[in-house]
Amino acid sequence: MNPTAGPSAPPVLPHGPASKQAADASRRAAAAPSPERTLRRLFLTLFLRGRSSRGLRKETAPKSVGSKLALTLGFYTLFGLVALCFKGQPVFALAVYLHGMTFVFLGMFVAASAGEVLFNKEEADILLHRPVTARALLWAKVGVLVQVSLWLAVAFNLGGFVVGVWAIDGGWTFPFVHAISTSIEALFCTGCVVLTYQVCLRWWLRDSVSRAAFLLTAAYLVRDRDVKLRVYPGLAPMLVMPVIFLVQDHGRGDSGGFGIAFAGVFLGLIPVLGLTLVQYSQQWQAADLFRAAPIAGPAPLCHGARQAVLCLLTLPVLVVFGLIAWALRGHSANLALLLPGVMALPVFALVPNLGGKGVPLSLPTEEAKSANRGVTMIGVMLASGVLSGLATWAWSGGWFVWLLLAELIIVGALYVGLRVSLAAARWPSLE
């Protein structure tokens, strides 16, 4: 009997083959990667693999995920060789070019890929029943975005690293310093996009039903072929008239500005027509789930769809109109004429939802009437002409600020009234 045995005595380990198996098992457990590392690796594989292999041929498809990534990195490296044109130039000019182009390329990549990484429907193949926390899941996805962004940034700047060494005031320290600044830039791009998604989904769309409707509408606007073929061709002809007014406004000097004001107010047509077209779908029978859910009315669903149309359709067109106006006039002094139209957007976006209508993906495509869109277009054109003429008059008369204050009060009152009316709407009877 061991005299030291007792409640506080250390356990006696077995000897022989059993002890060797236990030691081998403990070593394997210690050598196994952490759950966070495993999640990052799996999400990276899922992201690089792509959403679908439909349409690929066996002879042209990439042999592996590594070959697909190598092809992308090779393209970025070749495009980055444009930096060789800065050979013999000062380091400042080279650094401005590299950082500017890196910011543009990484910004476009992260903005285009963040939705696929953060909201991937195939992630259920990874998670299954595993007890993964939301924090670990988000950090793994952000890690994938940062990792791929760093790879692309390094590939694009490889030529710049070499050119910087042989610059007029360069040296062997340039690659190290530029690598640090480029890494910070990649982190900044990724952080801004992820923060924007979090702000939109957590603060702007705090209601879970509105958030789900936002993601559903955004997914159909980006992925569904039937919805894209209906929405985008329907919006394109409506955007010709603002561009014509912007071009006609070119060359009038400071006396012009009606085209910019008209383009800003004409933006109200985009959410009106976009929400009208989004409510039609070939899978409209699935909208019966909205009624089965514990929702008093369609207001949360309409709110999420409205925000998706404003973000994915209206905001890009606003940026395009602003760039066209700036490029044609050569200065940004008259861009403030876009403000009356931008301020009226919330009211225009509520028009299709009056009475609880405009629920996304809830009507069959056979009920889509082009005549109704024509009437809507005429109404918005009349409102655009009146408001844009008033804005131009106020701009030339020097009381544009007072016009904005008056419009803010009127738009605020209309918006509150329309939101209250929409919140009081209930599901119509099926009979």
Predicted confidence (pLDDT) per residue in 192-225, tens digit? 887 877 776 666 777 888 888 888 888 888 878 8
Q: Are residues 74 and 113 in the same domain?
A: yes
Q: Are residues 219 and 141 in the same domain?
A: no
Q: Are residues 329 and 231 in the same domain?
A: yes
Q: Are residues 279 and 400 in the same domain?
A: yes
Over range 416-423, report the average pLDDT. Answer: 91
pLDDT given for residue 251 in this prediction? 55
DSSP alpha helix (H) spans, 335-399: 339-350, 370-397
pLDDT given for residue 261 in this prediction? 82
Q: Are residues 300 and 178 in the same domain?
A: no
Q: Are residues 132 and 224 in the same domain?
A: no
Token pair, residue 127, equals: 């998670």
Q: Is the pLDDT of residue 416 over 90?
A: yes
Q: Are residues 190 and 298 in the same domain?
A: no
**Per-residue model confidence as pLDDT tens digits over 273-290:** 888 888 888 888 888 888
Q: Are residues 225 and 345 in the same domain?
A: yes
Q: What's the mean per-residue pLDDT of the chain?
A: 78
Domain limits for position 74: 36-47+63-197
Over range 375-387, report the average pLDDT. Answer: 72
Over range 373-389, report the average pLDDT. Answer: 72
Report the candidate in 425, 149, 174, 136 with the shortest Cα–Cα distance to residue 302: 425
Q: Is the pLDDT of residue 256 over 60?
A: no
pLDDT given for residue 60 in this prediction? 47
- Please say whether the beta carbons of 393 and 402 come within 8 A: no
pLDDT given for residue 250 in this prediction? 62
Over range 333-340, report the average pLDDT. Answer: 82
Q: Which of 150-164, 198-212, 305-319 has the lowest mean pLDDT?
A: 198-212
* Measured CA distances, 220 to 27, 214, 316 (Å): 48, 10, 17
Show which of 167, 197, 227 is a domain's final residue: 197
Over range 241-258, report the average pLDDT. Answer: 68
| Amino acid at residue number 230 | R
Residue 332: strand, helix, or coil: coil
Q: Are residues 185 and 252 in the same domain?
A: no
The CB-based long-range contact list for 248-252 (8 Å cut-off, 24+ gap) reads 249/328, 249/329, 250/328, 250/329
In this structure, is residue 430 part of a structural domain? no
Over range 21-34, report the average pLDDT. Answer: 58
Show which of 170, 197, 224 is a domain's final residue: 197
Q: Are residues 181 and 242 in the same domain?
A: no
pLDDT given for residue 417 in this prediction? 93
Q: Which of 19-33, 133-147, 192-206 has the lowest mean pLDDT?
A: 19-33
In this structure, is residue 53 part of a structural domain? no
Comparing 34 with 254, the larger pLDDT belongs to 34
Q: Could you tell me which residues are beta bridge partners of residue 363?
A: 280
Q: Is the pLDDT of residue 49 over 50?
A: yes
In this structure, is residue 206 part of a structural domain? no
Q: Which of 92-96, 129-133, 333-337 has the lowest mean pLDDT?
A: 129-133
In this structure, is residue 52 part of a structural domain? no
- Please say whether the beta carbons of 119 and 137 come within 8 A: no
- Please say whether the beta carbons of 97 and 86 come within 8 A: yes
Reported as a pLDDT band with limits 50, 70 and 90, residue 415 is very high
**Per-residue model confidence as pLDDT tens digits over 224-234:** 888 888 888 87
pLDDT given for residue 51 in this prediction? 47
pLDDT given for residue 57 in this prediction? 45
Show which of 163, 197, 231 is a domain's final residue: 197
Q: Are residues 266 and 382 in the same domain?
A: yes
pLDDT given for residue 315 in this prediction? 86
Q: Are residues 148 and 252 in the same domain?
A: no
Over range 371-397, report the average pLDDT. Answer: 75
**Per-residue model confidence as pLDDT tens digits over 63-122:** 555 666 788 888 888 988 888 888 878 888 888 889 888 888 888 788 777 766 776 666
In this structure, is residue 129 part of a structural domain? yes
In this structure, is residue 24 part of a structural domain? no
Q: Give the Cα separation of 40 and 145 in Å (integer).
A: 10
Token pair, residue 251, equals: 């060359």
Question: Is the whole-model pTM more than 0.75?
Answer: no
pLDDT given for residue 22 in this prediction? 56
In this structure, is residue 19 part of a structural domain? no
Q: Structural domain tally of the chain?
A: 2
Token pair, residue 118, equals: 């953060």
pLDDT above 90 covers a percentage of the chain that reads 8
In this structure, is residue 69 part of a structural domain? yes
- Please say whether the beta carbons of 271 and 389 come within 8 A: no
Reported as a pLDDT band with limits 50, 70 and 90, residue 413 is very high
